[in-house]
Chain A
Amino acid sequence: MSQDHDVSHAAGPNRRRILQFGAAAGAFAVAGPVVGWMPAAGAATPPVKPKGQAVIGLSQEPTVFQPLKLHIEVDEAVYMNLFGTLWRSNPDGSFAPDLAAEIPTVENGGVSADGLHWRVKLRPDVKWHDGTPFTAEDVKYNLALLVDPKFLSGRRAGHDLVRDVTVVSPTEIAWRMERPYAPYPAILSWTWLGPKHILEKEADVNKPAFAQNPVGTGPFRWSERVPGDHVTLKAYEGYHGPGPFLETLVIKYVPDLTVLYTQFQTGDIDYIGLQGITPDHYDEAKTLKDRTVMPVPKATTENLALNTALPVFKDRAVREALYMAVDKASIIEQLYYGLPTPTESYLPMQSWAYNPDLPKQSYDPDGAKALLDAAGWKPGPDGVRVKDGVRLEFTNSTTAGNHLREQAQQLLQQNWGDIGARMTISNLPPAVMWGDYWMLSKFESAMVGLDFMVGPDPDATDYFSSQAIAAKGGGGQNTTQFVSPEADALLKEGASTVDRAERKAAYLKLQALVRRELPYLPLFQYAMVQGVKTGLEGYTPNINTQENCWNANQWRWA
C-alpha cells in the first residue's frame, strides 16, 4: 500500500534521461558543503520575495504530520518541505548538510576511525517556524523519542544503536554507537526532526495535537489541510537555506491515476509525483504542449518473490527454470511500454554498490524445459510437472486492482504453463496482502516492488539475512525465507565497516549470490513517468529520496 509497487506504473531511464541525470548530479557536486544544494545551473536571478503557487498531484494521501511517527512514503513529500534533516541525500548519493553545519567524517573529526564516536556540529541560524531557535536539545529529544518503547516510531533500526547522547553546546551534539553501523548516515538523511518545545508537551505522543498544526524548520510552513483533498503550505521567509521562491505549495491528493493525469493535462496540477503518469498515457503525454514529461528512475525493483521454504520452490532448478521462462521483454516492452529497465540485481543501477556484471536472463522456454527434465520434474497426465509427489503448481499474489501487474501475471501464467508449471492468480486487497500474508511468508509466490536499501544505503540485511525471517521469529522482512550462511557473512561484512571500497566488494558478491540462488526473480527497475508544467524551474529528480519534490524550495516560475 505504501509504495510504487501498488500502482506500478513504471518507467525506465532512457539514454537522454540518464544524461540529464548526470548533469544534475554534477551541479550538486559543484555546490559544495556550505550551501548544500543550489538552483539548477544557469538559472535566472531568483525573485527576492516568494511568489506564485505550485500544485503537486499525488495519488496517495499524506496523513501523518508528525515526522518521527510511523508513516508511508507519500507523507515524506510533506516532510521534505515542512521539516529539516541533519543532512540530505543528493541525487548522486552524496550528502548535503541541512540542519548540520557540515557532514561528519573521519577527516573532519566528526566520526572516530572505528565509526563508534560521533560529533555533529549544527547550524546556529536555524529557527522553527514559530520563531524558537533550533538547538542540539531538539536533536537529542528526537533521537530519544525514536526509540521510546511507548512511541509508534517510524524507524528504530539504527537509532537503537545510539548511546550516551550528549549536548556539547547548543550547536554541537555527540553520541556513541553500540557497534559500527555503516547505513546510519543514510538513515539520518531520512530522519526529519520535530520541535522539542512543542512535542514534549503532548499529552499522548502517539496522538499528537502537533499533527493538526505542525511546526518545522523547512522552507515552507503549515497553512491548512482539507482531509481527503489537499495540504497547503506557505513560504517560510526565515528559512535558513536558499529559497523558497514559491509563495504557496499545494499537495493535492487525487486517488485515481487517470483523473490525476487528466488534471495534469488540463493544467490543474503543475507536477505529478509518486507513481506519476501511467505508462499507457506516456506517448500521449509526451505530445502535450507546455509540459515536460520524463521517465525518472526509482530505487524500487519489481520482483517475483518465491517462498523458498515451500517444497515446490526448494529446488534451485525450479527457480532457475521459472526465471528462464519469463518473457521479460514482452512484459517490459508491451505491458509497460518499454519504460522500465530490465535488471538482474535487487539494487538500483544508480547505487554505488550496483553490480553490472550479473548474468543476463533471456527468454528460453526450451532451456527451462530441459532444465526441469534434467532435475527430474516430469510432466504428469494433465501437463503439470511432478517430482517426488510435489506438483509444480503454485499461486501468485499481489495487490488486487493493480492493472499492469495483473496483466503481467496473466502473461506469466501463459509463459509458465508452456513449460508445465501451473500458476494460479490469487490477488488480495492491500491490507490483507501486505499484512501477515506477506510478512509471515504465508504466500506461495508474490509480485512485489521493493526498495531493498536502507534509505540511500545498499545494506539489504532485512531482506536476505537468515536472522530476518519473521515466519521463524526473526525481526526483518526476509519473506522468501532465503537462508544462506554465505549471504549472512557478506551482509555482516558490508554493514560493519565504513570503508566504501570494502563494502562495495561484499555487496558485489552478495548480488551475484542472490542472482544465482534466485529467492526473487528480478524483473526490472522501476522508473515513473513524471511531468512538470513548463516554466516551473528547479525540478530535479532524486533517486535517493522517496519523492521528487525534495527540493521544492528551489522551485519557481520562470
Chain B
Amino acid sequence: MASFLAGRMAQSLVLLVLVSIIGFAVLHLAPGGPMAQFALVPGMSQAQLAAMSHAMGLDQPLPVQYWQWFGRLLAGDWGRSYRDSVPVLAVIAARLPATLELMVAAVALAVVTGVAVGILGAVRRHSVFDALSTAGAMAALSIPTFWFGLVTIYVFSVKLGWLPSGNRSTPGDASPWGYVHHLIAPACVLALVEVAVWSRYMRSAMLDVIDQDFVRTARAKGLTERRVILHHVVRNALLPMITLAGLELPTLLGGALVTETVFTWPGMGRLFLDSLGYRDYPVVMGILMVSALLVLLGSLLADLLGAVADPRIRLG
C-alpha cells in the first residue's frame, strides 16, 4: 500500500511537471499577449507597450521565463495576476467557493436522481422505464451543455420568468433563498450529464450484484424483495460507485466551466476564460495546475476508495 502510494505520488509529480511545460509553452507561444487589452486605451503607444512588456519580463526567451516561473512555484510563489496584482492563489481562492457550490449542488442532484433511476432501471430491467431511461441517458449525453443552458434560460427566465437568468446573487439581497434561487438553473444544467452517467453506472453495478450468492441466500431466508434490494443489493452496488465520484471530476470541471459561462456564474470557469482572454498568464497557469492536481487526486482517491471498498482489488 505504502509503495503503491509513493509510486503514484511520484508519477503524479512527473505528470504535473509535464502539464506545466505543455501549458506554459502553448500559452506563451500563442499569438497575442497581455498588453493587447491596453492597445486601444486612448493615447496608448507601441513604445509604452514595449516598455511594459520588458518590465514584466515578457521579452525574455521562453525557457528562461518558464524556469523563473517554475523556480518561484517551487518556493511557493504562484505569482500575481497581471490584471489586479492579487496573488494567484488568492484569486483562485476567491472564485473557488462559487464553483464548489455549483459542483456540490449538481453532484448531489445527480447522485440522488441518478442512483434512484439506476436502481429502478435495474430492478425493472427491460421495462418501459428501463428503455426510456437508457435512451434518455444517451440523449442527455448528446445535448451540448451550453445550448441546454441557453434553452433553460429561454424557457424559465425569458418566457416563464421563474428563475434568474444568471449570476450567483442579487446585489443587496443576502437572503439564503436568493442564493438558492440563483443556483437552481445552473445546477440542473450541470447535473444533466451527470445524472445520465450515474444512472447508467448504478444500473450496471446493481446488475453485477443482483444475482450473486449472498443475495440469493437473503432471498432464500424469506426476506421481502424490497428488503433484499435495499439492504443487500443497493448497499453493495453503492460501494463501487464511490470511485465514480473521483473519476467524474474532470468532466464535472469541464461542465462547470461551460455552465458558468452561460449563466455568468462568478466561479473558476469564468475566471479561467476571462484570464485566457486577457492572457493573464500567471492566473491561467495557476488554474491549470490546480485543476490538474484535482484531476490526479480524484483518480488516486478513486483507486484507493475502490480498493478499500472491494478487498479483491490489490493495489501494487
Q: Do chains A and B touch in the complex (CB under 8 A)?
A: yes
B residues in contact with A266, CB < 8 Å: 164
How far, in whole Å, are A66 and B84 apart by their CA atoms in the complex? Answer: 9
From A1, A207, A452, contact of B80 by CB (8 A): A207
Chain B residues with a Cβ under 8 A of chain A = 30-49, 51-52, 55-56, 80-81, 83-86, 91, 94-95, 98, 157, 164-168, 170-172, 264, 266-267, 270-271, 274, 277-279
**A234-276 residues at the B interface, CB under 8 angstroms:** 250, 252, 254-256, 258-259, 262-263, 266, 268-269
Are B43's CB and A155's CB within 8 A?
yes
Are B31's CB and A63's CB within 8 A?
no
| Interchain residue pairs with CB less than 8 A apart (22) | A1-B278, A2-B37, A2-B40, A55-B171, A206-B55, A207-B85, A227-B84, A227-B271, A228-B98, A263-B167, A266-B164, A428-B32, A429-B32, A430-B277, A431-B278, A436-B31, A452-B42, A462-B44, A475-B45, A475-B47, A475-B48, A476-B47
Instruction: Kindly provide the distance from the CB of A499 to the nearest chain B CB, expressed in whole angstroms.
Output: 22
With A2-B38, A156-B48, A256-B264 given, name 19 new contacts (CB 8 A).
A1-B40, A3-B41, A55-B172, A70-B38, A70-B52, A155-B43, A208-B85, A227-B84, A227-B271, A228-B274, A259-B165, A268-B171, A435-B35, A453-B42, A454-B42, A475-B48, A477-B39, A477-B45, A477-B46
**A208-234 residues at the B interface, CB under 8 angstroms:** 208, 211-212, 226-230
**A422-474 residues at the B interface, CB under 8 angstroms:** 428-440, 448-455, 462, 468, 470, 474
B residues in contact with A258, CB < 8 Å: 165
Are B36's CB and A430's CB within 8 A?
yes
Q: Any chain B CB within 8 A of the CB of A72?
A: yes
Instruction: Kindly provide the distance from the CB of A429 to the nearest chain B CB, expressed in whole angstroms.
Output: 7
Q: Any chain B CB within 8 A of the CB of A73?
A: yes
B residues in contact with A212, CB < 8 Å: 86
Are A455's CB and B34's CB within 8 A?
no
- Name the CB-closest residue of B to A157: B43
A residues in contact with B165, CB < 8 Å: 258-259, 262
Are B38's CB and A435's CB within 8 A?
no
Q: Any chain B CB within 8 A of the CB of A64?
A: yes
- Name the CB-closest residue of A to B55: A152
How far, in whole Å, are A258 and B35 apart by their CA atoms in the complex? Answer: 28
Instruction: Kindly provide the distance from the CB of A10 to the nearest chain B CB, expressed in whole angstroms.
Output: 15
A residues in contact with B51, CB < 8 Å: 149
- Name the CB-closest residue of B to A450: B40
Q: Any chain B CB within 8 A of the CB of A65?
A: yes
How many residues on chain A are close to B (CB under 8 Å)?
74
Known: A228-B271, A250-B172, A254-B167. A455 touches B83 (CB 8 A): no
A residues in contact with B86, CB < 8 Å: 211-212, 227
Are B35's CB and A268's CB within 8 A?
no
From A72, A187, A268, A476, contact of B170 by CB (8 A): A268
Known: A250-B172, A434-B36. A63 touches B41 (CB 8 A): no
Task: For the complex of A and B, list the 8 residue pairs with the smallest distance between their C-beta atoms, beginning with the closest.
Answer: A470-B46, A475-B47, A432-B32, A431-B32, A228-B266, A435-B36, A63-B84, A1-B37
Are B84's CB and A259's CB within 8 A?
no
Are A259's CB and B167's CB within 8 A?
yes
How far, in whole Å, are A213 and B164 apart by their CA atoms in the complex? Answer: 32
Are B171's CB and A65's CB within 8 A?
no
B residues in contact with A73, CB < 8 Å: 41
A residues in contact with B271, CB < 8 Å: 227-228
B residues in contact with A255, CB < 8 Å: 264, 270, 274
Against B, the Cβ 8 Å flags (1 = close, 0 = not) of A48-67 are: 00000101000001011110
Q: Any chain B CB within 8 A of the CB of A503?
A: no
How far, in whole Å, are A431 and B86 apart by their CA atoms in the complex? Answer: 21
Are B37's CB and A431's CB within 8 A?
yes
Chain A residues with a Cβ under 8 A of chain B = 1-3, 5, 53, 55, 61, 63-66, 70-73, 149-150, 152-157, 187, 206-208, 211-212, 226-230, 250, 252, 254-256, 258-259, 262-263, 266, 268-269, 428-440, 448-455, 462, 468, 470, 474-477
B residues in contact with A250, CB < 8 Å: 171-172
Are A227's CB and B94's CB within 8 A?
yes
A residues in contact with B39, CB < 8 Å: 1-2, 434-435, 438-439, 477
A residues in contact with B94, CB < 8 Å: 226-228
Are A431's CB and B40's CB within 8 A?
no
A residues in contact with B31, CB < 8 Å: 432, 435-437
Are A462's CB and B85's CB within 8 A?
no
Instruction: Kindly provide the distance from the CB of A229 to the nearest chain B CB, expressed in whole angstroms.
Output: 5
Are B172's CB and A211's CB within 8 A?
no
From A430, A437, A475, contact of B37 by CB (8 A): A430
Instruction: Kindly provide the distance from the CB of B307 to the nearest chain A CB, expressed in whole angstroms.
Output: 39
A residues in contact with B172, CB < 8 Å: 53, 55, 250
- Name the CB-closest residue of A to B30: A432
From A262, A433, A450, A477, contact of B36 by CB (8 A): A433
Instruction: Kindly provide the distance from the CB of B312 to the nearest chain A CB, expressed in whole angstroms.
Output: 47
Central interface residue in B44, B49, B171, by most chain A CB within 10 Å: B171
A residues in contact with B52, CB < 8 Å: 70, 152
- Name the CB-closest residue of B to A154: B41
How far, in whole Å, are A155 and B37 apart by their CA atoms in the complex? Answer: 15
Are A226's CB and B46's CB within 8 A?
no
B residues in contact with A152, CB < 8 Å: 52, 55-56
Central interface residue in B33, B36, B42, by most chain A CB within 10 Å: B42
- Name the CB-closest residue of A to B49: A439
Instruction: Kindly provide the distance from the CB of A91 to the nearest chain B CB, expressed in whole angstroms.
Output: 17
A residues in contact with B35, CB < 8 Å: 435
Are A434's CB and B84's CB within 8 A?
no
How far, in whole Å, are A226 and B41 apart by their CA atoms in the complex? Answer: 25
Are B40's CB and A65's CB within 8 A?
no
From A53, A72, A227, A254, contact of B166 by CB (8 A): A254
B residues in contact with A3, CB < 8 Å: 40-41
B residues in contact with A435, CB < 8 Å: 31-33, 35-36, 39
Instruction: Kindly provide the distance from the CB of A155 to the nearest chain B CB, expressed in whole angstroms.
Output: 6
From A207, A228, A451, contact of B42 by CB (8 A): A451
